[in-house]
Amino acid sequence: MAAASQLLSLFFLLLLPACDAIYCDEDDCYDLLGVKQDANASDIKKAYYKLSLKHHPDKNPDPESRKLFVKIANAYEILKDESTRAQYDFAIEHPEEVFYNTAQYYRAYYGHKTDPRAVLIGLLLIVSAFQYINQLTRYNQACFSDESCLIESPSYGFEAASLHMCRRP
């Protein structure tokens, strides 16, 4: 039993770095921008603009500066939005909740952004259009195909024969 708990704790210790890697890799987003954790949105924006001008690839051709610019831009994307900033702060304060933090991160970036009712209505319209086209095609095949096909067709039976009699040349 003790071996199982040690194995489980080792498993969770291996997953802890994954929590840090989802936001700003191993760096702290606040340290990348040079602001404190209690900084307001305008301080974060000012720090980002200052650092982005300094490390922008068009102004600084150094390849390390380009990598730093990408990290700074990622940190700003996380800290500029209040909800993702709150999720990041929670991930910093509770690193033991790796799965919850990862789920929150991926839900924010890759989750559904469309109203499910609109998706359902669109799906129903598409399915209805396919059904209409299918029925129209089957009707046209039954009414306007070869006359012998109408009478001999087992799928249409007496209806095909009545269509044949009622149809005008």
Question: For tokens 């990598």, what's the residue?
Answer: 67
| Overall pTM > 0.85 | no
70-93, pLDDT tens digit by residue? 888 888 988 888 888 888 888 888
Q: Specify whether 42 is located in the same domain as 78.
A: yes
Q: Per-residue pLDDT for 13 more than 70?
A: no
Q: Specify whether 6 is located in the same domain as 65.
A: yes
Q: Per-residue pLDDT for 100 more than 70?
A: yes
Q: Which residues are within 8 A (CB) of 165 and not within 5 positions of it... i.e. 6 or more apart?
A: none
Last residue of a domain, one of 110, 141, 158: 110
Q: Specify whether 121 is located in the same domain as 105.
A: no
pLDDT attached to residue 160: 57
Which structural domain, as residue segments, surrounds residue 68? 2-110
Q: Specify whether 38 is located in the same domain as 100.
A: yes
Q: Specify whether 144 is located in the same domain as 75.
A: no
Q: Specify whether 68 is located in the same domain as 96.
A: yes
Average pLDDT of span 139-148: 68
Domain CATH for 75? 1.10.287.110
CA 149/CA 115 separation, integer angstroms = 48
pLDDT attached to residue 61: 84
Q: Specify whether 77 is located in the same domain as 137.
A: no
- Within 13 Å and on the Cβ side, how many CA atoms surround 163? 20
Cβ–Cβ < 8 Å for 57, 68 = no
CA 148/CA 142 separation, integer angstroms = 11
Q: Specify whether 81 is located in the same domain as 148.
A: no
Q: Specify whether 90 is located in the same domain as 127.
A: no
Query: Is the model more confident about 6 or about 106?
Result: 106
Q: DSSP readout, 97-166?
A: -HHHHHHHHHHHHHS--S-HHHHHHHHHHHHHHHHHHHHHHHHHHHHHS-HHHHHH-TTTHHHHHHHHHH
pLDDT band of 151, cuts 50, 70, 90: low
DSSP SS3 for 93: helix
Quote the number of domains for the chain. Answer: 2
